[in-house]
Homo-oligomer: A and B are copies of this chain.
Amino acid sequence: MAGGIGSRFWPMSTVKFPKQFQDILGTGRTMIQQTYDRISQIIPNENIFVITNKEYVELCGQQLPEIPEENIVGEPMMKNTSACNLYMANKIAGINPNAKMVVLPADHLILKEKKFIEKIELAFKLVSENDYLITLGIKPTRPDTGYGYIQYLSNEKDEFFKVKTFTEKPNLEIAKTFIESGDFLWNAGIFVWNAQSILSAFDKYLPEMVQQFNYCEYNSDREIECIDLIYPKVTKISVDNGILEKAKNVYVIPADLGWSDLGTWTSVYQNAEKDDNNNAIASKNILTYNSKGNIVRIKNRNKAAIIDGLKNYIIVDTDKSLLICPRDNDQLIKDYVLDLKNFKKGERFM
A26 interface residue per 8 A CB criterion: no
Contact segment of A40-48, A73-81, A261-269, A305-313: A305-313
A321 interface residue per 8 A CB criterion: yes
Q: Which residue of B lies closest to A325 (CB)?
A: B308
A114 interface residue per 8 A CB criterion: no
Q: Complex: how many Å from CA A317 to CA B299?
A: 13
Residues of chain B within 8 A (CB-CB) of A320 are 302-304
State whether B308 touches A340 (Cβ < 8 A).
Answer: no
Residue of B287, B310, B322 touching A306 (CB-CB under 8 A): B322
Known contacts A287-B339, A329-B309: does B321 contact A324 (CB below 8 Å)? no
A248 interface residue per 8 A CB criterion: no
Residue of B306, B319, B326 touching A323 (CB-CB under 8 A): B306
State whether A298 touches B322 (Cβ < 8 A).
Answer: yes
Determine chain A's interface SS by DSSP, over half rule: mixed
Q: Complex: how many Å from CA A326 to CA B320?
A: 24
Residue of B306, B339, B340, B343 touching A324 (CB-CB under 8 A): B306
In whole Å, how far is A74's beta carbon from the nearest beta carbon of chain B? 29
Q: Which residue of B lies closest to A329 (CB)?
A: B308
A215 interface residue per 8 A CB criterion: no
Residues of chain B within 8 A (CB-CB) of A333 are 306
A128 interface residue per 8 A CB criterion: no
A232 interface residue per 8 A CB criterion: no
Known contacts A284-B343, A287-B339: does B329 contact A305 (CB below 8 Å)? no
